Amino acid sequence: MTDAPPVIVLVRPQLGENIGKAARAMLNFGLTEMRLVAPRDGWPNPSAGPAAADADIVLERAQVFETTAEAVADCAHVYATTVRRRGDTKPVVTPEAAAAQIHAASGRSALLFGPERSGLDIQDVSLARAILTVPINPEFGSLNLAQAVILCAYEWSKVLNLPQPPLTDQLPPAPQEELEGLIGHLEKMLEPKRYFYPEGRAEATRRTLRNVLTRPGWNALEVRTLRGILTHLGRADRHD
């Protein structure tokens, strides 16, 4: 088991912008090895850099091959991203299943992505050990190249425990005392408006109001903001 990152192979990509967007998608999830098979407009492509949004390391290291077979020659596990064709006997896996197999496998792995317009052809798919298919709306199965790359890269990255955004800016929930103050404040404003009328429904209405205000888990700043709004509305009433 090597747990080496998979190689992303773009077969006959058509637009430099899409190559750049694919590089950006790769680097978001820690992948840096891109291989290009006969890019339509040659390589390097001036349109790729701006679309990569600073994922320059991926573009700078990109290798170019004449054929798909050459691009995956050193890879023991090749996955063709395509819709399964009738009569195809290759195993079909999801991005999640493919990621698990890649992490457990020995040897290099490659993910093949076809041209934007037509996808991988039969010869490209024949090089793969398995077909990788994204579960998608059967009535609208349109994924662009970068979207397909980012789905597969994300699934591979999930076991890496990439750093998550810090949660230190989240305030703790407000103490019950502050919530009681908010509830009392609002009830005091509603009473003159006969909100709790008729009296036979007043208790149930107050209970529902309390449930609404206690359910979200307001923090102290949010409670103070709400009470400030109520105070402001109360002042506006007195000016009427």
Residues in contact with 84: Cβ distance below 8 Å, sequence separation at least 6, in sequence order = 90, 92, 131, 133
108-113 and 7-11 strand pairing: parallel
Domains in the chain with CATH codes:
7-160 (3.40.1280.10), 176-239 (no CATH)
pLDDT (0 to 100) of residue 56: 93
Tell me: pLDDT of 237 over 60.
no
Q: What is the pLDDT of residue 9?
A: 98
- Confidence band, pLDDT 50/70/90 cuts, at residue 240: very low
Of 14, 72, 77, 78, nearest in space to 47 by CA: 14
What is the chain's mean pLDDT, rounded?
A: 88
CB atoms within 10 A of CB 93: 17
Task: Tell which wins on pLDDT, 218 or 9.
Answer: 9
**Burial class for 84, CB neighbours closer than 10 Å (0-12, 13-18, 19+):** middle
pTM tops 0.75: no
Q: Highest mean pLDDT: which of 10-14, 87-91, 137-141, 155-159?
A: 10-14
